[in-house]
């Protein structure tokens, strides 16, 4: 692909063999390793690092000083806030000879708040919201709102990002909310709804 298809700031390092999609903007002091894949229409802020083998989907916004390490997959339209931390090793030792890569998945449209830490091996569901400074040690369901250390499921958010407060239906398998901001109806599993009630009660 021609260099003209995307923008790379003069201070950025893009290694030969990295893949960058059309319309992506790579800003100051970014480092994209050989074998990394960055999709179309992304925005990579100052000091971002994308490791070899890491995958960033289309339309992702990665704010300043985020490192996306090997084994991390960030799906389309996700948001990674400033200094969010993504890990890939459960038993880190500088001298380990038995290092095992543990993958992490950030699903479509999910948002990770500033300074949040995502412990490897978890899946952040579609359109979920992770609060600033949270330490996520468990999977987050689609549309789930988590925060705290360790992060607990405290509610659900709409696709537009607002917290869902208006409950319109409780079924045997699903619970439906209606967003008071945009009017969308959002359905979450009853199991996740019960988890939210239990975890909120222990906050």
Tell me what pLDDT residue 2 has. Answer: 47
- State the DSSP string of the chain: --GGGSEE-TT-EE-TT-EE-TT-EE-TT-EE-TT-EE-TT-EE-TT-EE-TT-EE-TT-EE-TT-EE-TTEEE-TT-EE-TT-EE---SS--TT-S------EEE-TT-EE-TT-EE-TT-EE-TT-EE-TT-EE-S-B-TTEEEETTTTEEEEEB-TTSPBP-EEEEE-SSEEEEE-TTT--EEEEEHHHHHHHHHHHHT-
Tell me what pLDDT residue 1 has. Answer: 40
Distance CA(32)–CA(18), nearest Å, equals 7
CA torsion, points 72, 75, 76, 78, in degrees to nearest 10? -70
Q: What is the pTM of this model?
A: 0.94
Do residues 165 and 153 make contact, with C-beta atoms less than 8 angstroms apart?
no
Residues 6 or more apart in contact with residue 28 via CB below 8 angstroms = 9, 11, 12, 46, 47
Q: For 149-193, write each residue's pLDDT tens digit.
A: 999 999 999 999 999 999 999 999 999 999 999 999 999 999 999
Residues of the chain with pLDDT under 50: 1-2
Count of all residues that appear for the chain in the document: 203
Kindly state the tokens that stand for 41.
């229409």
Tell me what pLDDT residue 194 has. Answer: 96
Tell me what pLDDT residue 148 has. Answer: 97
């Amino acid at each position: 692909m021609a260099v003209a298809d995307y923008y790379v700031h003069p201070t950025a390092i893009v290694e030969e063999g990295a893949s960058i999609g059309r319309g992506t903007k790579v800003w100051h002091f970014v480092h994209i390793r050989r074998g990394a894949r960055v999709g179309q229409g992304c925005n990579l802020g100052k000091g971002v690092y994308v490791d070899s083998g890491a995958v960033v989907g289309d339309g992702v916004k990665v704010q300043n000083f985020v490192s996306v390490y090997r084994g991390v997959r960030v799906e389309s339209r996700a948001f990674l806030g400033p200094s969010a931390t993504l890990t890939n090793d459960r038993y880190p030792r500088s001298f380990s000879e038995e290092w095992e890569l543990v993958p992490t998945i950030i699903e479509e449209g999910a948002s990770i708040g500033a300074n949040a830490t995502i412990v490897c091996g978890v899946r952040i569901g579609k359109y979920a919201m992770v609060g600033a400074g949270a330490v996520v040690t468990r999977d987050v369901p689609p549309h789930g709102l988590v925060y705290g250390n360790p992060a607990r499921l405290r509610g659900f958010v709409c696709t537009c990002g607002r917290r869902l407060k208006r409950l319109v239906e409780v079924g045997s398998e699903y619970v439906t909310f209606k967003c008071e901001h945009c009017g969308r109806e959002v359905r979450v599993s009853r199991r996740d709804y019960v988890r939210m009630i239990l975890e909120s009660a222990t906050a």
